[in-house]
Amino acid sequence: MTQKEILSHVDHTLLKPYATWDDIQNLCREAVKHKTAAVCIAPNYIKRVRAKFKKKLKICTVVGFPLGFSSKEAKLVEVIQALEDGADEIDMVINISDVKNGDFDKVSQEISLLKNAVDDKILKVIIETCYLNEDEKIKLCEIIKKLGVHYIKTSTGFGTAGAVMEDILLFKKHIGKDVKIKAAGGIKTREDMEAFLKAGCDRIGTSWAVKNLKME
């Protein structure tokens, strides 16, 4: 797998709370130069990035990030604003406490609400695997599959652990053929990126791809 092929699956990410406008512009220039799948940035920078870079890149942003426990109504407002500002893709964090409480109807309602709001844009559902047991992960795969969401995503990168291969393999067993997988959190090396892509991931969320891949 070439560097170019790997980068075409990367959401080039910068979600540090102290990221400056200069940092964001540099991220975007790298994304344009190396043709990454998208940039993943905080909502407050969407409008400025869209104004400066126009349609040269895809903008992904986050909603309910990173803890997921805001109300579905609050997340809906975030989605609407992000789309108005120019986002192409939304990575939402589910309400993890609802999962731990077994309130899967609430989880399903929230995802459905945001999926409808996203309309023809892309929605990725972050389930934060580090806090879940296997049964909970499987149940979420079933919900996401039933709702026809575009992607299931492993992690925020802010939890106690990030993407692990066993979760990708579990997803593959239960997510169906139409839902894609995004691995994120702790993915830094070329070997990691290539392994996750070969295992069936369509996207990799990382801030390390351009830095750690020696460009051809």
- Using a pLDDT cut of 90, give the percent of the chain over it: 97
pLDDT tops 70 at residue 46: yes
The pLDDT value given to residue 214: 63
215: confidence class by pLDDT, cuts 50, 70, 90: low
The percent helix, strand, coil of the chain (3-state, each to 5) is 50, 15, 35
pTM for this model (two decimals): 0.97
**pLDDT single digits (tens) 129-138:** 999 999 999 9
Paired tokens of 1: 């797998």
The pLDDT value given to residue 146: 98
199: confidence class by pLDDT, cuts 50, 70, 90: very high
What would the mean pLDDT of 90-101 be, rounded to a whole number? 98
**pLDDT single digits (tens) 139-188:** 999 999 999 999 999 999 999 999 999 999 999 999 999 999 999 999 99
- Using a pLDDT cut of 70, give the percent of the chain over it: 99
Residue 205 half-sphere exposure toward CB, CA atoms < 13 A: 31
**pLDDT single digits (tens) 110-131:** 999 999 999 999 999 999 999 9
Q: Specify whether the CB–CB gap between 93 and 66 falls below 8 A.
A: yes
The pLDDT value given to residue 216: 46
Q: So what CATH class is 3-212?
A: alpha beta
CA distance 176 to 172: 7
| Active-site residue list | 91, 153, 182
pLDDT tops 90 at residue 80: yes
213: confidence class by pLDDT, cuts 50, 70, 90: confident
Q: Average per-residue pLDDT in the chain?
A: 97
Query: Domain map of the chain by residue range?
Result: 3-212
At 202 the three-state DSSP class reads coil
